[in-house]
């Protein structure tokens, strides 16, 4: 297993990094916990890593069976000549170090800070003598990086320590004489090595039996991922620091660089704070795929708020319900939605409305032409028309919205009647003037990875919409899972085509958040028209293209499709509907890339399954669980785990699973039981761990001892409709009606 790397991107000067010995031990604890390392284990540390290993052994002596310290002194005091060398600034320091044969693994500033603030203050004389675990000390014969006497004191300081000196070696003894070091370690731990190996093999066999899909992972995909303490908006700030000039967003011909996007989102965060937003307050965003949606998403998170994303293609009643149920206090929407805003804000807590226009980030010459192509730039459904004189006027800045929430107004409905209703009173703002007067300095969001980041409403296809509570940690780990599923993707080089609506959980994670995590360019496409999507492919050459089967099919069948440069596409993960094998084969033949089917649901941030990109893919299957994700099939009546190929309810457990439903404790308790998410989907798992969705549990038809699935009936009816080709030119229309009647009796 490769050694894990715990990294937090550096946003400040290395001289201000808050490293401490206790913090480094905390990092080691996190890694060991994430790897699920079984106790007791052998812990090996080199140089200052030995000091960290020592502190861990003192903190958790019961966890460490053997401690091996390689080239570890009691005090990390470097020789005077090297000390003077460290005072020389880079790049001269690095050149001189290379000249005298010193191997460096960090910049001079970082090394000097680490030595002076952490290594130099560690007192091994006191700490080593407190060790009570079995310890082996390995020294290099010519090791003089630190004072020689401090090396030789170590085996005498540790009670009952074993020691060995490796001839013809120096500080990097484990690299210079690896065979000799390994022999010394084996001799030290050999008595228990056989038992430990047998126990490990037993655990691996049990794990493979419980999760058979692990054997089908692509070679570079880990079976576990580390939980992240990073916040979603940190991904944007990190990318801006590393790739300031790279295009973060591409909107038709307009590009917004990462540094610019980071500053704009800072302005939006300051604007929300100016409006009175507090940590945990909800901000509703009702926009199509335009840059303002991305700006508002990360700007809200930077201000400590919770995002509520609504689809501009939803009907009026659904949007009004989301506003009312979420308790959102701020709404960002389009100027063309002004009349709709009047109605949906009734009975809501919205006190501030920010208007924007789809043309604000369009090239000036193309604003009129392109604006007409943007889906969702006009309300999807309206039930009344307001006269201009009834439009809301901004409240004075010193007016408290809670003191004057409603006033009487008349609405002229489509049928000519004039019902009297309430007029919502709130303050109105135009986005650009509001942003221009804000500073660009970063804000402390005051949130942690456990805090709520997104309130995403389900579609309500089988029940009333529910607000799914997703934390920063939920969404971050789903990004990490997807990122590991694409190990060949290169940071700072990819281009993601954002056709999926950013108001949907699929688009949020697989387009927007994954782009920020890779410092990729997100080419926003606010239309699903095939011709416009292909034009975007031709102009921007995307490498990653999340989508749905219908779109892939439309592209594959489009006239002269090769002329649009679709060969730039390397990875496509299809969701929302089953992926026909014909579509998969045709699209991959065109692009030479990989198109695989996946699965997810809003309650899981949303991705849980995918077919491998490089390995075996199974037709009709949603694939295998992502890293750190468990899944099983249970009987819908008894809840018992079923054998392979039996149909039951799909249950999922993993760090991406939601916190619960907003203000719905009973519904939450029904779907979250003992950490398992009950998806409501009927599925089967084969003996290799590949899953196939059958239908929704609520759609099942119980007929005596039989379970009848709608998909079975649909397939029969489709066969009747098209006929079945028997052989050359001859068709048979089967008599299925009698058998269908029998099933339903």
| Three-state DSSP class for residue 248 | strand
Give dist(CA 162, CA 65) in Å, integer: 14
Give dist(CA 357, CA 472) in Å, integer: 29
* 64 lies in the same domain as 155: yes
Characterize 201-218 residue by residue with b for buried, 16 or more Cβ atoms within 10 angstroms of its Cβ, and e for exposed: eeeeeeeeeebbbbebbe
Domain boundary among 697, 719, 734: 697
Please compute the mean of the pLDDT values over residues 386-409 and round it to a whole number. Answer: 33
Give 568's DSSP letter. Answer: G
* 494 lies in the same domain as 628: yes
Q: How far is CA 147 from CA 84, 99, 108, 150, 412, in A?
A: 15, 22, 21, 6, 89
42, pLDDT greater than 70: yes
Please compute the mean of the pLDDT values over residues 527-554 and round it to a whole number. Answer: 94
Q: Which residue has the tokens 């031709």?
A: 538
Give dist(CA 51, CA 34) in Å, integer: 22
* 571 lies in the same domain as 712: no
More confident call, 14 vs 594: 594
24, pLDDT greater than 90: no
Give dist(CA 477, CA 656) in Å, integer: 6
Q: Which residues contact 232 (CB under 8 A, 6 or more apart)?
A: 298, 301, 453, 472, 475, 476, 513, 516
* 124 lies in the same domain as 21: yes
Q: Residue 200: its pLDDT value, please?
A: 53
Average pLDDT, the chain: 81
493-519: pLDDT as tens digits: 999 999 999 999 999 999 999 999 999
* 642 lies in the same domain as 721: no
SS (H, E, C) 291-353: HHHHHHHHHHHHCCCEEEEECCCCCHHHHHHHHHHHCCCEEEEEHHHHHHHHHHCCCCCCCEE
Please choose, from the candidates 593, 511, 597, the residue with its C-alpha nearest in 3D space to the C-alpha of residue 549: 597
* 641 lies in the same domain as 708: no
Give dist(CA 142, CA 170) in Å, integer: 5
Segment among 213-227, 553-567, 716-730 with least mean pLDDT = 716-730
* 592 lies in the same domain as 735: no
> Could you tell me the strand order of the sheet in which 64-70 lies?
41-46, 64-70, 134-140, 162-166
Whether residue 326 lies inside any domain: the answer is no
189-207: pLDDT as tens digits: 875 555 555 555 555 555 6
Give 533's DSSP letter. Answer: H
Q: Residue 210: its pLDDT value, please?
A: 84
* 483 lies in the same domain as 597: yes
* 688 lies in the same domain as 733: no
Q: Which residues contact 686 (CB under 8 A, 6 or more apart)?
A: 618, 621, 644, 645, 692
Instruction: Report the relative pairing of strands 607-610 and 594-600 from DSSP bridges.
Output: antiparallel
CATH code of the domain covering residue 158: 3.40.50.1820
| Count of structural domains, the chain | 3
CATH code of the domain covering residue 559: 3.40.50.12780
| Residues spanned by the domain of 651 | 221-231+471-697
669, pLDDT greater than 90: yes
Q: Residue 414: its pLDDT value, please?
A: 33
Domain boundary among 210, 245, 274: 210
* 711 lies in the same domain as 655: no
Q: Residue 509: its pLDDT value, please?
A: 96
More confident call, 12 vs 137: 137
Q: Which residues contact 242 (CB under 8 A, 6 or more apart)?
A: 9, 492, 519
Whether residue 48 lies inside any domain: the answer is yes
219-230: pLDDT as tens digits: 889 888 887 889
Whether residue 131 lies inside any domain: the answer is yes
Give dist(CA 630, CA 566) in Å, integer: 35
* 704 lies in the same domain as 666: no
Q: What is the dihedral of CA 286, 290, 292, 296, to 10 degrees?
A: 60
Whether residue 259 lies inside any domain: the answer is no
Whether residue 379 lies inside any domain: the answer is no
276-288: pLDDT as tens digits: 999 999 999 999 9
Please compute the mean of the pLDDT values over residues 297-325 and round it to a whole number. Answer: 95
Q: Residue 26: its pLDDT value, please?
A: 85
Instruction: State if pTM tops 0.75.
Output: no
| Three-state DSSP class for residue 555 | helix
Whether residue 63 lies inside any domain: the answer is yes
Give dist(CA 244, CA 477) in Å, integer: 25
| CA angle, residues 501, 505, 507, in degrees to nearest 5 | 40
164, pLDDT greater than 90: no
Question: Tokens at residue 455, please?
Answer: 């309130």
Give dist(CA 670, CA 376) in Å, integer: 35
Under the banding of pLDDT at 50, 70 and 90, the label for residue 401 is very low
Whether residue 444 lies inside any domain: the answer is no
* 612 lies in the same domain as 729: no
400, pLDDT greater than 50: no
Whether residue 400 lies inside any domain: the answer is no
More confident call, 645 vs 383: 645
Please compute the mean of the pLDDT values over residues 46-57 and round it to a whole number. Answer: 92
Question: What length does the chain have?
Answer: 745
| CA angle, residues 269, 274, 277, in degrees to nearest 5 | 70
| Three-state DSSP class for residue 547 | strand
Q: How far is CA 274 from CA 270, 284, 652, in A?
A: 6, 17, 41
270 CA to centre of own chain = 25
């Amino acid at each position: 297993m490769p050694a894990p790397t715990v990294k937090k991107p550096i946003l400040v000067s290395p001289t201000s990094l808050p490293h401490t010995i206790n913090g480094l031990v905390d990092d080691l604890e996190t890694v060991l916990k994430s790897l699920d390392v079984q106790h007791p284990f052998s812990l090996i540390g080199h140089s200052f890593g030995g000091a960290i290993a020592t502190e861990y052994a003192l903190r958790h002596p019961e966890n460490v069976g053997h401690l091996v310290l390689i080239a570890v002194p009691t005090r990390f005091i470097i020789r005077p000549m090297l000390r003077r060398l460290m005072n020389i600034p880079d790049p001269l320091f690095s050149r001189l170090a290379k000249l005298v044969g010193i191997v460096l693994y960090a910049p001079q500033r970082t090394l000097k800070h680490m030595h002076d603030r952490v290594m130099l203050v560690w007192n091994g004389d006191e700490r080593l003598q407190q060790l009570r675990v079995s310890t082996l000390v390995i020294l290099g014969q010519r090791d003089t990086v630190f004072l020689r006497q401090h090396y030789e004191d170590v085996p005498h300081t540790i009670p009952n320590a074993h020691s060995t000196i490796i001839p013809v070696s120096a500080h990097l003894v484990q690299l210079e004489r690896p065979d000799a070091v390994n022999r010394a370690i084996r001799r030290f731990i050999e008595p228990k090595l056989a038992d430990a190996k047998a126990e490990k093999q037993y655990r691996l066999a049990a794990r493979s039996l419980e999760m058979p899909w692990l054997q089908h992972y692509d070679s570079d995909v880990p079976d576990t991922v580390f939980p992240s303490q990073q916040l979603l908006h940190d991904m944007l700030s990190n990318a801006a620091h590393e790739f300031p000039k790279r295009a973060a967003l591409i909107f038709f011909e307009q590009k917004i660089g990462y540094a610019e996007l980071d500053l704009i989102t800072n302005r939006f965060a300051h604007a929300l704070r100016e409006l009175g937003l507090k940590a945990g307050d909800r901000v509703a965003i009702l926009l199509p795929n335009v840059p303002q949606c991305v700006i508002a998403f990360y700007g809200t998170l930077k201000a400590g708020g919770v995002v509520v994303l609504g689809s501009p293609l939803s009907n009026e009643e659904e949007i009004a319900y989301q506003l009312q149920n979420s308790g959102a206090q701020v709404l960002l929407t389009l100027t063309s939605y002004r009349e709709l805003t009047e109605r949906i804000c009734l009975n809501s807590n919205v006190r501030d409305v920010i208007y924007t226009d789809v043309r604000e980030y369009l090239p000036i010459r193309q604003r009129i032409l392109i604006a007409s192509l943007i889906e969702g730039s006009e309300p999807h459904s309206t039930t009344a028309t307001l006269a201009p004189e009834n439009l809301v006027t901004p409240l004075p800045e010193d007016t408290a919205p809670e003191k004057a929430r409603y006033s009487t107004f008349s609405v002229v409905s489509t049928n000519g009647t004039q019902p009297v209703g309430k007029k919502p009173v709130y303050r109105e703002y135009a986005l650009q003037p509001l942003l221009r007067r804000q500073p660009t300095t970063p804000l402390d969001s005051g949130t942690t990875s456990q805090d709520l980041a997104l309130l995403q409403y389900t579609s309500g296809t089988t029940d009333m919409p529910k607000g799914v509570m997703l934390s920063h940690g939920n969404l971050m780990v789903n990004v990490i899972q997807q990122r590991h599923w694409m190990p060949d993707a290169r940071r700072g080089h990819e281009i993601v085509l954002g056709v999926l609506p950013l108001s949907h959980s699929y688009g949020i994670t697989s387009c927007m958040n994954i782009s920020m995590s890779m410092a990729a360019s997100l080419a926003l496409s606010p239309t699903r028209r095939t011709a416009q999507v292909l034009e975007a492919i031709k102009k921007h050459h995307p490498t990653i293209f999340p989508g749905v089967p219908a779109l892939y099919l439309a592209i594959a069948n489009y006239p002269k499709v090769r002329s649009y440069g679709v060969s730039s596409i390397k990875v496509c993960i299809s969701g929302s509907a089953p992926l026909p094998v014909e579509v998969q084969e045709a699209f991959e033949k065109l692009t030479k890339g990989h198109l695989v089917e996946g699965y997810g649901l809003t309650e899981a941030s949303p991705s849980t399954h995918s077919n491998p990109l490089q390995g075996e893919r199974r037709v009709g299957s949603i694939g295998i669980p992502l890293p750190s994700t468990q899944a099983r099939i249970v009987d819908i009546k008894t809840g018992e785990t079923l054998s392979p190929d039996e149909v039951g309810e799909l249950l999922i457990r993993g760090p991406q699973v939601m916190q619960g439903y907003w203000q719905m404790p009973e519904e939450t308790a029904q779907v979250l039981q003992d950490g398992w998410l009950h998806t409501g989907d009927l599925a089967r798992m084969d003996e290799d761990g590949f899953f196939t969705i059958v239908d929704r549990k609520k759609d099942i038809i119980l007929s005596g001892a039989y379970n009848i699935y709608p998909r079975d009936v649909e397939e029969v009816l489709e066969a009747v409709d098209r006929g079945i080709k028997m052989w050359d030119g001859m068709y048979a229309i089967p008599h299925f009606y009698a058998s269908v009647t029998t099933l339903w009796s």
